[in-house]
């Protein structure tokens, strides 16, 4: 199983020097593999401490317990003063500079892993705007215990481990949201551009039940910008087009309804904005590689080793 790859037509090989911004994604097609990984910087691989700007299509939480240097997220620089907790949202650009002795854990997961706690998607994006958290006293100890539990549960693969991982991650997100933010000036952050604000508002809109049902034109009207401006802003901020993100949001909601409710496929189709169930089935299969009914019956069944060996340089698709 590959750890990362490059989205078709975007980025390059995952390393600097090619066309466009390097873009990485977890190669964990549902429902045959777990859209989650945790490990140390060494076990996750060189890309977890990449010194060149890049972005992902997945969430990344970094728990730093040792090392010196800087972590750069978008336009902000953060000096390592372990222990720290860092949140990087899908589409954010980040890299490491002058880092030595980097130690800690990296947690990677897609929106699909948040099906039990959909509100965590918004919470994670709020945390990513703050990005860098200090962990004083008791908060440091509690966070270290949570990370250790996540790592142990992930490696064990024991019965019900997916539910435990989701619960532990939810606790980590909620507790992190309670921590005070580091003052932006201390991190050397620059004011968010109008383009970045529009992209953030667009992503937040897609996180609402009604937002994912809107067309690109409707989203642009809602945000008070032109379709072309919305496209440029979202592409610059996330590396993906508004249409791609809308499809992703609809697929995510469809997956949640299929796995967590007793609604029929026809009812699920209607809930995510498809009047024609047959068209919905074609759309779902194109986006996920599985029919809605097969996805529901799979129910997150793990047919392969759930552990990602690394996120080293992507291999060409077979």
pLDDT digits (tens, 9 = 90+) for 75-84: 788 999 999 9
Q: Does residue 305 fall inside a structural domain?
A: no
Q: Does residue 163 fall inside a structural domain?
A: yes
Sign for the CA dihedral angle at 233, 234, 236, 237 comes to positive
Sequence-separated (6 or more) residues with CB below 8 Å from residue 87: 59, 60, 61, 62, 124, 127, 128, 130, 131, 133, 176
**Which residues of the chain form beta strands (DSSP E)?**
4-5, 23-26, 36-40, 55-56, 59-73, 76-79, 84-88, 94-109, 132-134
Same domain, 142 and 206: no
Q: How many Cβ atoms sit within 10 Å of the Cβ of residue 95? A: 18
Same domain, 201 and 264: yes
pLDDT (tens digit per residue) in 89-137? 888 889 999 999 999 999 999 888 888 888 898 889 889 888 899 898 8
Q: Does residue 310 fall inside a structural domain?
A: no
Omega before residue 91 within 30° of 0, cis: no
Rounded to 10 degrees, what is the CA torsion of 16, 18, 21, 22?
A: -60
What letters, b where the CB count within 10 A reaches 16 and e where it falls short, cover 237-257?
bbbbbbebbbbbbbbbbbbbb
Same domain, 181 and 110: yes
CATH of the domain at 282: 1.10.10.60
Task: State the pTM of this model.
Answer: 0.69
Highest mean pLDDT among 26-35, 165-174, 215-224: 165-174
Coil, helix or strand at residue 216: helix
Coil, helix or strand at residue 23: strand
Same domain, 293 and 146: no
Same domain, 76 and 109: yes
Residue 15 has a pLDDT of 45
Residue 20 has a pLDDT of 58
Confidence of residue 148 (pLDDT cuts 50, 70, 90): very high
Q: How many Cβ atoms sit within 10 Å of the Cβ of residue 171? A: 15
Sign for the CA dihedral angle at 28, 196, 126, 61 comes to positive
Residue given tokens 């100890």 in the structure block: 141
Mean pLDDT in residue range 62-90: 92
2 or 26, higher pLDDT = 26
Same domain, 142 and 203: no
Q: Does residue 302 fall inside a structural domain?
A: no
Same domain, 25 and 132: yes
Confidence of residue 191 (pLDDT cuts 50, 70, 90): very low
Among 21-25, 65-69, 308-312, whose mean pLDDT is lowest?
Answer: 308-312
Distances (CA, A) of 228 to 66, 78, 205, 223, 236: 44, 33, 18, 13, 12
CATH of the domain at 123: 2.60.120.280
Structure tokens at 56: 């992902």
Q: Does residue 151 fall inside a structural domain?
A: yes
Q: Does residue 292 fall inside a structural domain?
A: yes
Same domain, 117 and 143: yes
Q: Are 172 and 61 in contact (CB under 8 A)?
A: yes
Residue 204 has a pLDDT of 79
Highest mean pLDDT among 83-87, 88-92, 271-275: 83-87
Q: How many Cβ atoms sit within 10 Å of the Cβ of residue 34? A: 25
What's the chain's average pLDDT? 80
Question: Does residue 276 carry a pLDDT above 80?
Answer: yes
DSSP 54: B
Q: Of the candidates 311, 252, 286, which has an alpha carbon nearest to the alpha carbon of residue 1?
A: 311
Same domain, 99 and 129: yes
Same domain, 181 and 204: no
298 or 291, higher pLDDT = 291
Residue 298 has a pLDDT of 76
Q: How many Cβ atoms sit within 10 Å of the Cβ of residue 45? A: 20
Mean pLDDT in residue range 26-32: 47
2 or 261, higher pLDDT = 261
Same domain, 152 and 265: no
Mean pLDDT in residue range 166-191: 74
Structure tokens at 122: 């918004």
The total number of structural domains that make up the chain: 2
Structure tokens at 27: 């190669």
Structure tokens at 311: 């996120």
Residue 190 has a pLDDT of 47
Phi, psi for residue 37 in degrees, rounded to 5? -150, 145
Residue 253 has a pLDDT of 86
Strand 94-109, strand 59-73: pairing: antiparallel
Confidence of residue 299 (pLDDT cuts 50, 70, 90): low
Same domain, 260 and 119: no
DSSP 277: H
Residue 261 belongs to domain spanning:
194-297
Highest mean pLDDT among 66-80, 115-129, 141-155: 141-155
Residue 222 has a pLDDT of 86
Query: In the chain, pLDDT over 70 holds for what percent of residues?
Result: 78
Q: Are 27 and 3 in contact (CB under 8 A)?
A: yes
């Amino acid at each position: 199983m590959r750890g990362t790859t490059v989205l078709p037509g975007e980025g390059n090989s995952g390393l600097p020097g090619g066309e466009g911004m390097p873009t990485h994604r977890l190669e964990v097609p549902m429902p045959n593999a777990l859209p989650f990984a945790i490990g140390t910087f060494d076990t996750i691989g060189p890309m977890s401490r990449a010194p060149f700007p890049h972005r992902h299509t997945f969430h990344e939480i970094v728990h730093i317990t040792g090392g010196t240097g800087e972590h750069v997220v978008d336009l902000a620089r953060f000096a390592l003063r372990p222990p720290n907790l860092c949140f990087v949202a899908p589409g954010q650009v980040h890299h490491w500079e002058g880092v030595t002795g980097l130690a800690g854990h990296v947690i990677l997961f897609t929106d699909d892993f948040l099906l039990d706690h959909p509100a965590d998607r918004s919470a994670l994006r709020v945390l990513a705007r703050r990005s860098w958290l200090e962990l004083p006293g008791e908060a440091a100890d509690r966070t270290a215990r949570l990370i250790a539990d996540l790592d142990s549960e992930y490696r064990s693969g024991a019965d019900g481990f997916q539910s435990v991982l989701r619960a532990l991650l939810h606790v980590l997100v909620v507790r992190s949201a309670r921590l005070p933010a580091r003052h932006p000036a201390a991190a050397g952050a620059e004011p968010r551009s109008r383009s970045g604000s529009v992209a953030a508002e667009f992503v937040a809109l897609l996180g609402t039940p009604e937002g994912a049902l809107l067309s690109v034109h409707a989203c642009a009207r809602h945000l008070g910008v032109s379709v072309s401006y919305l496209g440029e802003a979202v592409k610059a901020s996330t590396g993906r087009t508004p249409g791609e993100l809308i499809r992703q949001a609809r697929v995510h909601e469809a997956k949640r309804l299929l796995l967590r409710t007793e609604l029929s496929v026809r009812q699920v189709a209607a809930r995510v904005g498809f009047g024609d169930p047959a068209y919905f089935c074609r759309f779902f299969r194109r986006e996920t590689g599985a029919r809605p009914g097969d996805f529901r019956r799979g129910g997150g069944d793990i047919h392969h080793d759930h552990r990602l060996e690394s996120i080293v340089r992507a291999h060409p698709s077979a």
